[in-house]
Every structure is written in C-alpha cells, then in structure tokens.
Structure 1
Amino acid sequence: MVQLISVSEESKVTLHNIYQLYLYDFSQFTEEDINSCGLFGVSLDHYWQDPRWNPFFIVHDGKIMGFLVVLFENYDVDPDPTHVIYDFMILKKHRRNGFGKEAAIKAFNLYKANWKVAQMSSNEAAVLFWRSVITEYTNDTYTELYRPDFKKYVQSFNNKDF
C-alpha cells in the first residue's frame, strides 16, 4: 500500500535530490540543461513559506518511490477551492505497477475540491496516465481541454460528491 507523507522542511534536501531525477526525466520535454555544478536549478523554499504548496513523498514499504505536490490555487478555505497536482513523479523502476495511480487517488481523496491536472502535450505517457486515472476515479465525469498557449492538456473535475 502506498502512503503519502507530508514533506517537512527538515526533509527539504531529500525532496531537492528527488527533484533532480524528476527534472532529468523531464529534460527530454523541456530541453532544460544542468548548471555548472551538474545539477538542475530548482528552489523549493516556497513550499514551506507559502501554505498553498503541499509536497508529499510517495512511500511504499518504507521506501520513498516518488513525490507529488498539491497546489491550493485559491486556498483550501475558499468555499469553492481548486487544487492542482502541480508535480508528480514515480521512480522509473516503480512505474506501471499501479503505485502512481494509487498515489494520485490518495491525493485526490485528501481534499474535497475542484481539481486540475495538466500535462505537456509532448509527454504522451503522462497524458495517457492521467486520462486513465481520472477516467476511472471520476467514472468518466471530467472535462479536458487543450491549452495551445502552454501546449498542455488540462483535465478538470470535482470530487465533492464522491
């Protein structure tokens, strides 16, 4: 069983290290380069300075197998909140075993809200993954639109009545 463990500020270095793997995977789509230290530039400090950001480790059998970040677009106190899966990564060796789907569903179940999930159109595996997960989770009651300005697909749904 997968667990979502909130990332404490004390675990920031661990999350930063995992982000390096995530950005490496993503570099085929973003064409981002490493810096002179051999790292991708990423700052995560805002995750602990702004309560809208909610990072979680994805853990199975006591081992971190990835992470996800939930962004409260308009805070959770809004009467009609919208939350976004902002970043999501499962280590390659754990992919296609149902762990990502389980983690995504657990994240959705944490908050009753309007949800958005976006993927770069060039990342076909991510588009197919999220369509499949959201179709099953919502019983195919979601909307999808393509944002040509960002070259992204965005799925939207709400789980307030689930």
Structure 2
Amino acid sequence: MEIKLVPVKPEEKSTLSNLYQLYHYDFSEFTNQDINKDGRYEVNIDFFWEGDHRWKPYLIEVSGSLAGFVIVLLENLDTDPDPTHVIYDFMIIKKFRRNGIGYAAAIKAFELYEANWKIAQMENNTPAISFWRKVIKDFTEDNYIERFRDDVKKYVQAFSTKQ
C-alpha cells in the first residue's frame, strides 16, 4: 500500500473543494456548523492559490485512490524567514480510517519540511486529540511540548523537525 502526498494544482481546486464538503460534514459534530440553503457547507479555498505562498495543500493518495487531504500553513512567512509550520486542516475519508493511513500521511507531512511545527485541536474533538498525541509522540520519540490555550479552547503540540 503506497501512501503519497500530492501537491494540489490550481486546476484541481474543485477536487479539494469537494473533499472540504466531507471535512466540514465530519467536523460539524464539533463546530455545530450548518449547511446553506443549497445543502452545502460554505467553503472558499481560493486564497490557497491567490498569491499567498504560505498555503501548501496536498491530496493524500493510497495506491492511486484519493483518501483525503492535508493543508500545511507556513505561519508568519510574510514576517519570518523561518516560519512555524502548522497542520491547518487534515482529513482522511472514513473508508481509509483506523488502518494507519492517517498516521502515515501525517508523518509524511512532517517529513516534507525541516521546520518548527505546531498542531492544534479543539478541546471537544477528543478523537483528534488522541490521534495527534499518538502521531507526534511516536514521531518525536516523546520530544514535544503540549499546552492548552484557554483563550481558544485548543490543545497545541509543538516540536521541531530541524536537524
């Protein structure tokens, strides 16, 4: 089983936008986001390609099949030549969950960049908290910092992949 992260080209924006519908559907359990009158979630990802080079969207493929996506944000790139990298959004289609694909895709994302990293999860999203703690603990050999940000009600893990 081959797991690949494939950069999303501007002409593939509709594919990522469609996946975001599934993402928001899954995530609505934690956000209480409503769909619009057309039965869709309001999704606008145009800014990923509109001259803002901080956004790095990737499709996750498993043996050639689309399995999800990961969005890496190079936070503060406009002011810092060594920006912190953030997993901004991450989604694995349910068919591919609970068999190591999300874990492997997350590791591949970390391996793309030598950088300082931050990953955040909403306080009420306990499955995401458990997932990211395990991935980060294993990947860093337990060499990371976690804190709870009460102002935004999120857990945040920080670590580095710099040599």
User: Which category describes the TM-score, using the shorter chain as reference length?
Assistant: over 0.9
The runs of 4+ residues in structure 1 deviating greater than 4 Å are: 76-79
* Length-normalised TM-score, structure 2: 0.95
RMSD, aligned α-carbons: 1.3
Q: Measure, in 1, the Cα distance between the counterparts of 2:67 and 2:95.
A: 9
Sequence identity (%): 57
Instruction: Give the aligned partner of residue 143 of structure 2.
Output: 141
Instruction: Give the aligned partner of residue 87 of structure 1.
Output: 89
**Does the residue aligned with 2:42 lie in a helix, a strand or coil?**
coil
Q: Measure, in 2, the Cα distance between the counterparts of 1:89 and 1:13.
A: 16
Output one character per residue of 1:47-106: Cα deviation in whole Å (capped at 9) or x when no partner.
001110010000011111000000000229945321000000001111111101111111
* Length-normalised TM-score, structure 1: 0.96
* Uncovered stretches (5+) of structure 2, i.e. residues with no partner: none
Q: Measure, in 2, the Cα distance between the counterparts of 1:160 and 1:107.
A: 14
The 5 A counterparts of 1:25-44 are 25-44=26-45
* Uncovered stretches (5+) of structure 1, i.e. residues with no partner: none
Q: Measure, in 2, the Cα distance between the counterparts of 1:61 and 1:75.
A: 33
Query: What is the identity, as a one-letter code, of the residue corresponding to 2:9?
Result: S
Instruction: Give the aligned partner of residue 7 of structure 1.
Output: 8
Query: What is the identity, as a one-letter code, of the residue corresponding to 1:41?
Result: E
The 5 A counterparts of 1:1-80 are 1-49=2-50, 50-75=52-77, 78-80=80-82
Aligned residues: 161
Q: Measure, in 1, the Cα distance between the counterparts of 2:24 and 2:16.
A: 12
